[in-house]
């Protein structure tokens, strides 16, 4: 069972570099055909400093750490009972190839439904680049089946 006393718990921040080759592979893998995500010249013509990050790529970077579920395990969550239910993104600025992003996460909410058979963990993550510019907020909704 999750403990509502963990609401507000802050996790250690993580960092990730936005690599050009990885951006192109990601864009191709999701069927993105907008040239700003694939071609440097098109990106610059559109006003970007470099290839921009496709909309859902930040979640991939956030999970690209040696132990991506460690934060949840520290709360007593069993990975065998964990479901990723929802992911939202709110963008303030654009991350581009070459950026180094910092992901700072905390537990925004914990609640139960169905008499405790389902517990919900809401994690909010603020993403900033190496210049301290606020890029986005990610909200992850996880369901734990009891």
pTM metric for this prediction: 0.93
Mean pLDDT per 10-residue section of the chain, whose length is 146 residues: 96 96 91 93 96 94 91 94 96 97 98 96 98 98 96
pLDDT at 76: 93
Task: Using alpha carbons, select from 142, 79, 78 the residue that is nearest to residue 105.
Answer: 142
pLDDT at 1: 86
**3-state DSSP: the chain helix, strand, coil percent, rounded to 5?**
25, 35, 35
Domain annotation for the chain: domains and CATH numbers: 4-18+55-145 (3.10.129.10)
């Amino acid at each position: 069972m999750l403990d509502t006393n963990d609401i507000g718990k802050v996790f250690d921040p993580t960092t990730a570099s936005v690599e050009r080759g990885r951006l192109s592979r990601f864009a191709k893998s999701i069927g993105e055909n907008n040239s700003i995500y694939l071609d440097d010249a098109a990106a610059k013509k559109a006003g970007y400093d470099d290839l921009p990050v496709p909309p859902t790529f930040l979640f991939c970077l956030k999970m690209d750490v040696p132990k991506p579920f460690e934060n949840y395990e520290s709360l007593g969550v069993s990975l065998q009972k964990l479901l990723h239910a929802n992911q939202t993104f709110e963008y303030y600025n654009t991350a581009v190839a070459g950026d180094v992003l910092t992901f700072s996460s905390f537990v925004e909410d914990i609640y139960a439904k169905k008499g405790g058979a389902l517990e919900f963990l809401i994690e909010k993550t603020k993403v900033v680049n190496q210049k301290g510019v606020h890029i986005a907020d990610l909200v992850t909704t996880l369901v734990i089946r009891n």
